[in-house]
Amino acid sequence: MTELRALEIRPPAELASAAAEQAVPFSIEAEQQLLGALLTNNEVFDHVTRIIAPPHFYDPVHRRIYEICAERITKNALASPVTIKAFMENDQGLKDLGGPAYLARLAAAAISSHAARDYAQMIREFALRRDLIGLGQDIASRASHVTVDDNAEDQIKAAEQVLYKLGEQGVAERGFQSFLSAVTGALNAANAAYSRGGGLSGVSSGLVDLDHKMGGLNRSDLIILAGRPSMGKTSLATNIAFNVAKAHRMGELPDGSHGTVSGGVVGFFSLEMSADQLAARILSEAAEVPSENIRRGDMSEDEFRRFVQAAHDLQNCPLYIDDTPALPINQLAARARKLKRTMGLDLLIVDYLQLLRAATAKDSRVNEVSEITQGLKAVAKELDIPVIALSQLSRAVESREDKRPQLSDLRESGSIEQDADIVMFVFREEYYKEREKPADHELDKMATWQQVMEACHGKAEVIIGKQRHGPIGTVELSFEGRFTRFGNLEKHRSNWDQ
């Protein structure tokens, strides 16, 4: 086997001096080994294309070689020293390294194609480090020049955006896996559910009937929670977030590893309400103090004491809120990954998806929503967590006599309904019946109205309109408007499966 040192390859003088001057990390040898393996075995490309791209190469000549190889291989054409030579005969950089003979020496010096993935990881790692160095230099240079129209906060936001983009590069893709591997995963999930007494396969929402219908909040599921204004979408979402975070416990898992055994760490993207307003809702439920009293500061001494005690009890609750408005879907994904990496993440809630933005401008709102729902589903699968996304409904609901929502009422319903694993609607008949109160002199109508109001008072329905892995149907919950709290409805549970 030809020794790599026999190549006598060095980066151009200007590259070497710049690298020495700035201590830029790179590995010419790793680039040579990867290109050599690729030129001798084009199948290597399938193993490394998800890891690196041409800009990751430090040497410009290596970058151009990889670009040409990639272009030919994707067209099912051979990439070898002989075929690549025709495309680089006039390349001055290649001439400086010895011309076409350099391509032959690369192929001859390749040690093993099995190590190509490791070399690709190394090349990408060094490229990211160079980007970080460049970002640091840009930050320092920009911060040192004080101008009227470029304040420090704008510079911080710009730097954060670049960091998020860097963090998103090279997300690992699982690719194909054997059926044995998939079966093992299914058996582990079934075993976990069986160990819990046949109850839930996912995270408990804290709402018994809803858990029974859905089997809990299952990993990798995108759950759409939709409803008209004032139905309680955000209230139900905050209730679930609070229940999951409050029940969080760490311990030994069935496979012997350490992890979440109950509840979970919750991330909540609140694009409409501020973090303070969201926290006030959660505290209203926990302290049983009406939310409007909290807003006005109109609390009795006992209510204020309960409010403070609830805040103290929940201060270490693993519930993390991001209230950045108009967040692009790619930044949401990056922030979710960071939370998963730093604090853990077992449930993600987005309030609400129509307030998210696509990563790039689209020619129509339908295409924009399609990118958003696909992005949310990708986050659920990549992070292996359930994602609950709230959604608005169209006004078509209001024009019907029966105002219970349907799948067709979803705004931009095509992509939402298609990408979601579960679609459920919040419906409170009491809200509509209150607005149908007859005049006081209409005694017969008043009596009928009072009977209807009594039947629906304090009740809510969660209508499951789509469930990819389970039945559809309606779940009844209690609702206390004063505390914005949904709960389990007291009833005989023998009709669960009806």
| The predicted structure's pLDDT at residue 167 | 63
Residue 417 phi/psi, 5-degree rounding, is -65, -35
What's residue 411's pLDDT? 67
pLDDT tens series, the chain, 498 aa: 333 333 444 454 455 554 544 578 898 988 999 999 899 888 888 788 878 889 899 999 999 999 999 888 888 888 889 999 889 888 898 888 888 889 888 888 877 777 888 888 899 889 888 888 888 888 888 888 777 677 777 777 677 667 766 665 544 445 555 666 666 666 666 666 556 555 567 888 888 888 888 888 998 899 999 988 888 888 899 999 988 988 888 887 666 667 777 889 999 998 888 888 888 888 888 888 887 777 777 788 888 888 888 888 777 888 898 888 888 888 888 888 888 878 889 999 998 888 888 877 777 777 888 888 988 998 998 888 999 999 988 887 777 877 788 888 886 666 788 888 999 999 888 888 777 777 777 777 788 888 777 778 888 889 999 898 888 888 888 888 777 788 887 654 444 444
Residue 234 and residue 314 in contact, taking contact as beta carbons nearer than 8 Å: no
| Strand 266-270 with 347-351, pairing | parallel
- Residue 60 CA to residue 54 CA, distance in Å, equals 9
Question: Residue 258 and residue 415: Cα distance in Å, rounded?
Answer: 38
Of 123, 156, 112, nearest in space to 52 by CA: 123
| d(C-alpha 144, C-alpha 139), whole Å | 8
Report the pLDDT value the prediction gives residue 494, as an integer from 0 to 100: 41
Measured distance CA(225)–CA(217) in Å, rounded: 12
Residue 340, pLDDT score:
86
Q: In this structure, what token pair is assigned to residue 251?
A: 């311990």
User: What is the C-alpha to C-alpha distance for residues 217 and 205, in angstroms, rounded to an integer?
Assistant: 7
How far does Cα 79 stand from its chain's mean position? Answer: 38
What pLDDT is recorded for position 262? 80
Residue 253: partners with Cβ closer than 8 Å, 6 or more residues away? 259, 261
Write the single-letter amino acid at 3: E
What pLDDT, on the 0 to 100 scale, is given for residue 237?
92
**Nearest Cα residue to 420 out of 384, 461, 466:** 466
In which residue are the tokens 């008209």 written?
A: 228
- State how far the Cα of 423 lies from the Cα of 373, in Å rounded to an integer: 12
Q: What CA–CA distances, in Å, run from 220 to 93, 212, 253, 380, 483?
A: 48, 19, 19, 4, 31
d(CA 103, CA 81): 5
pTM of model > 0.85: no
Determine the pLDDT at residue 170.
Answer: 47
Q: At what angle do helices 28-40 and 100-109 cross, to 10 degrees?
A: 90
437 and 476 in contact (C-beta within 8 Å)? no
